[in-house]
Structure 1
Amino acid sequence: MSWKEKDRIILIGDSITEKGRFEDPDQLGDGYVRLIHDYLVTQHPTLRLDIVNKGIGGNRVTDLAERWEQDALQESPDWISISIGINDVWRQLDRPDMEQVYPDMFETVYEDIISQTIQHTKAHLILMEPTIIEEDPASKGNQLLQPYVATIHRLAEQYNALVIPTHQAFLTFLNANTDIPLTTDGVHMNSRGDMLMASTWLEQLYSS
């Protein structure tokens, strides 16, 4: 992996990605995107990398598809990092009355946005595993996430994309039984959760 001068890096996803970007003059927020930004610009000061946060709270993969043209393709990315899947599962638990995005639809829609990206850009693809639903590896939410995580790995292999093992990183931490929380509510990150996401992203990128 190597960056080029003025590379444009889009990080797109749901509220975990958004995390305060609309209140931030820099439009980066105060979550994992900010940590990745600060690391990259300080480690590569001469490259003038352009890191852009395109997270929107509540998004599922179907919401990404609706805004993909505007928020991804029209941004002319050199790299695009996708973090999606939590709400696709969480809505099955907290909003069972609404139309759901089950694994088959998730894969179909996700593959379509990947295909569009390959067709219309030369961007490197980074697919982040969804993180966790409740800080218990055995929770129903985390069990339901498994086919979504598997889909991301399948698509990454098919389209030569890089996978960021964020779900596995969180499970590994939780299985250490530290009693140190990573989220504020079982889903949204506190500062430690953001750091785990950012460090996993950076470590995987620099080792690829």
Structure 2
Amino acid sequence: MKKNEKLLFIGDSITESGRYEDSEEIGYGYVRLIRDFLQITFPDQSPIVINHGISGNHITDLVSRWDRDVISVNPDYVSISIGINDVWRRLGHSEKELVYPDMYEEIYRSLIEEVQSKTKAGIILAEPTIHGEDIHSKGNKMLLPYVEAVRKLGAEYKAILVPAHQAFMEYLNQRRQRS
């Protein structure tokens, strides 16, 4: 990354992480950690970091704000982290606008293709994390096809893949073994 390149993060609450309460609009989660790491490690080459995460968003919400929050920004890199809330809806909390794995993949694919056709941005895809700390929960089992869709799209579009789900599951497995 180079100075003045734009690194845009978009997704749900995991990305938002308090950005509306933060005067820098970066938030207090992983986006801040990445921004701070880049500033400290590459002080003369640190990119402009933009956080466009919105709590509660689903993949369909990204569609409705994609032009405004991604394409019009014309980022050099776009990092997408979405999917937890799509599973949350399927767990019976809302029957409205359910997005099943095949539809999730199709919508996700169209967002990536739009970025590729309208910008020169590099693509970074983060696997959906976990749905609670019980690795055998219904939510975590339902999440697996969404994780697989992100992995498939990452390979297909030669994106950088952040194995967030894998990392969380490994951590929880290690923690369980120590108990």
Residue 54 of structure 1 aligns to a residue whose secondary structure is: strand
The aligned counterpart of 2:60 is 62
**Where in structure 2 are there 5+ consecutive unaligned residues?**
none
Instruction: Provide, for residues 70-122 of structure 1, a one-character-per-residue CA deviation record: whole Å limited to 9, x for no partner.
Output: 10111110010000000010111142432200011101110000000000011
Residue 12 of structure 1 aligns to a residue whose secondary structure is: strand
Maintained 8 Å contact 2:38/2:46: no
**Where in structure 1 are there 5+ consecutive unaligned residues?**
181-208
Residue 81 of structure 1 aligns to a residue whose secondary structure is: strand
For 1:6-85, list aligned pairs within 5 A: 6-85=4-83
Q: CA deviation at 1:4?
A: 2.0
**TM-score of the superposed pair, with normalisation by structure 1:** 0.82
Give % identity. 48
The aligned counterpart of 1:126 is 124
Instruction: Provide, for residues 45-70 of structure 1, a one-character-per-residue CA deviation record: whole Å limited to 9, x for no partner.
Output: 00141001000011111100110001
Structure 1 runs (4+) greater than 4 angstroms displaced: none
**TM-score of the superposed pair, with normalisation by structure 2:** 0.95
Residue 126 of structure 1 aligns to a residue whose secondary structure is: strand
Residue 4 of structure 2 aligns to a residue whose secondary structure is: coil
The verdict on how the C-alpha distance between 1:131 and 1:121 changes in structure 2, with shifts beyond 3 A counting, is: same
Residue 176 of structure 1 aligns to a residue whose secondary structure is: helix
Residue 89 of structure 1 aligns to a residue whose secondary structure is: helix
The aligned counterpart of 1:153 is 151
Instruction: Provide, for residues 148-191 of structure 1, a one-character-per-residue CA deviation record: whole Å limited to 9, x for no partner.
Output: 011111111111111100000000000012699xxxxxxxxxxx
Q: CA deviation at 1:5?
A: 2.5
Maintained 8 Å contact 2:11/2:82: yes
Out of 88, 92, 101, the residue aligned to residue 103 of structure 1 is 101
